[in-house]
Amino acid sequence: MARSRSGTRGRRGPRKPPRRAGFAPGAVQVVDPSERGAIELPGTITVKELAELLTVSPADIIRELIKSGIFATINQLIDRDTASLVAEELGYEVAEVTATAGDEDEDGEGGVPAEATKEVLFEEDDEADLVPRAPIVTVMGHVDHGKTSLLDAIRTTQVAAGERGGITQHIGASEVTTKDGKRLVFLDTPGHEAFTSMRARGARVTDIAVVVVAADDGVMPQTLEAISHAKAAKVPIVIAMNKIDRPEANPDRVRTELAEAGVVVEDYGGDVPMVPVSAKTRVGIDELLEIILLVADLQELKANPKRAAVGTIIEAQLDKGRGPVATTIVQTGTLKVGDVVVVGNTFGKVKALESAVGKRIKEAGPASAVVVLGLSDVPEAGDVLRVVSDEKIARAQVEARKNEQAAREGAGAGRATLEDLYSQMQAGQAKELRIILKTDVSGSLGAITRALGQLSSDETKINVLLEAAGDITDNDIMLATASNAIVIGFNTGITDTARRGAEAEGVDVRLYDIIYKLTDDIDAALKGMLEPEMVEVIEGRAEVRQIFKVGKTTVIAGCYVTDGRIVRTGSARVWRGGKVVATDKIDSLRRFRDDVREVAANFECGIGLSGYNDLEEGDIIECYTQQARSRIAG
């Protein structure tokens, strides 16, 4: 049974003395409503901490606040009264407590960022109830570097070695037991996309990131992304240098390239462990698991198996015979058959639980992967599962959440924006501006990062979470959402889905083609002098199909609008072969012979630009406008 396996091995690391912190920000008292009947709230609490406390996503809290006219950011402190309102809206009872002035949080951080709240979940548990738990591990890395093979190698070696036997069914996660009986949980969807999309939804599941680098290929773009995503999440990294069986393997090159990417491995005097492995010959797999367990030990991962369970859905689907099936990582507490659970927008009673090897089990303890049956609907990956005391509470919470979703339309989720940076700084909340930087060529990266670095001050640090060449993609938006960052594109575009994602999530995306404009904006934002009103909105794109000369100089491009719309009052960026060749105003826009104000997607039109007359067939005209952004006050 998962619980006894995970819970009572009795490994006792050095323990901090029991600490019942007062209500300093970041040291939040967590009371399970099903155990205590009501939650206790501190005098002030950040949006993120409140989300943790109520085990909902921060976006849920922000939406709830928007309903009361409060536009809060994720790290913003809100007072107890406001927090109570939100908690009650979400179906919680709030205990009448008078908060005592807190002992200083020993970590000393006010308005603590996301990462610290991981612990918050367990803060209330009595030290005596906490037991070490297995680490939950995600494998990331460049395509073809062997993520899937490595997971397979880990699973087959260890399942065969483990005493449970049986064949792992595919449930989205695997539990592995080493020869000396230690457990690890691996998430089966490799890659930072899955990792960050969960994180963007407020789920924090992973304790350790294994970054796979093929020894014969070295550090590649997705390796860098994986590293950035893990670092942004403050998840410790273990490097698995794979394919060492290959004759072309060049470990030194890997070490050097990693060092250049800011990851200094232990052999080079750094603190990132690196294990040479071969998923093919299975060399090094045991060592890799050992190192992961060592890193886990340092983290002192603990959970309370006695409390009501909290977990995260990592995969779910509708099974014809069995109804909704959802693989859940139980993060704390013990999930039992018969428990009433709220999961995202749905709830249900746990009808049955299945282990990773397809065995029916009665309960699942902390850090176990189980398939949950009995939900009334299929949840989404990243949804939090929480045991509540009865169906009435479950129903109320689900109702509240559905209402918020309806209210969400149109209301930006209140993410970090350059405009509200200053007010956040003033309020002592923002200490750093997190930036995701995409450029056309990697050559510009250094110059821009340096220029940005010079803007860092004692008050506000500029932290470039990810810098890479290429268009702004969904991944970047996800990382921004998860990390409360803004996205800057320099001489680069943004994919359609990324643009839609950014709009939906309220991510601040800024496109520049001149470095000083970029740095001026950031500088102005840091000084609270940014002109907040106007932002660029990309309206749509049209492809040039034919060129017509009118008179001597004027050129009209016969175009087909491929997406969005072209507006007569807009500006135009002309793309050719992935590069911007001109920026201009739209001078004329026609459908047949008529001047029109706009032309929608899938229609043809004639476009004339005011100054640029060298349009060619195949060019893409990207139409954008400047629009006032509704200021999200800090």
The residues binding ligand GDP (CB under 6 A) are 141, 143-149, 190, 242-243, 245-246, 278-280
Q: Which is nearer to ligand GDP, 247 or 410 (CB)?
A: 247
Find the DSSP H helices in 55-125: 58-67, 80-89, 114-123
CB 282 to ligand GDP: min, Å: 9
CB 226 to ligand GDP: min, Å: 11
Contact 141, 241 (CB under 8 A): no
CB 147 to ligand GDP: min, Å: 3
Sequence-distant (6+) residues with CB within 8 A of 621 are 541, 542, 543, 544, 557, 559, 566, 572, 573, 574, 575, 607, 609, 615
Q: Residue for token digits 């018969």?
A: 338
SS3 string of 253-306?
HHHHHHHHCCCCEHHHCCCECEEECCCCCCCCHHHHHHHHHHHHHHHCCEECCC
Closest among 532, 483, 399, 506 to 62, alpha carbons compared: 506
Q: Which is nearer to ligand GDP, 242 or 439 (CB)?
A: 242
Contact 314, 187 (CB under 8 A): yes
Q: Which is nearer to ligand GDP, 145 or 541 (CB)?
A: 145
Residue type, 539: E
DSSP reduced 3-state for 365 = coil
Q: Give the residue nearest to ligand GDP (CB).
A: 146
Count the neighbouring beta carbons within 10 Å of the beta carbon of residue 349: 14
Q: Which is nearer to ligand GDP, 131 or 214 (CB)?
A: 214
CB 192 to ligand GDP: min, Å: 12
CB 153 to ligand GDP: min, Å: 8
Q: Which is nearer to ligand GDP, 149 or 389 (CB)?
A: 149
DSSP reduced 3-state for 570 = coil
Q: Which is nearer to ligand GDP, 141 or 324 (CB)?
A: 141
CB 232 to ligand GDP: min, Å: 21
Q: Which is nearer to ligand GDP, 261 or 555 (CB)?
A: 261
Sequence-distant (6+) residues with CB within 8 A of 631 are 419, 420, 532, 533
CB 317 to ligand GDP: min, Å: 22
- ∠ at Cα 440 (438, 443), nearest 5°? 95
Residue 44, beta-bridge partner list: 79
CB 247 to ligand GDP: min, Å: 9
Distance CA 273, CA 297 (A): 14
Q: Which is nearer to ligand GDP, 212 or 556 (CB)?
A: 212
Q: Which is nearer to ligand GDP, 280 or 306 (CB)?
A: 280
Closest among 355, 361, 394, 372 to 311, alpha carbons compared: 372
Q: Which is nearer to ligand GDP, 173 or 430 (CB)?
A: 173
Sequence-distant (6+) residues with CB within 8 A of 527 are 422
Count the neighbouring beta carbons within 10 Å of the beta carbon of residue 569: 13
CB 140 to ligand GDP: min, Å: 9
CB 235 to ligand GDP: min, Å: 19
First to last CA, the chain: 49
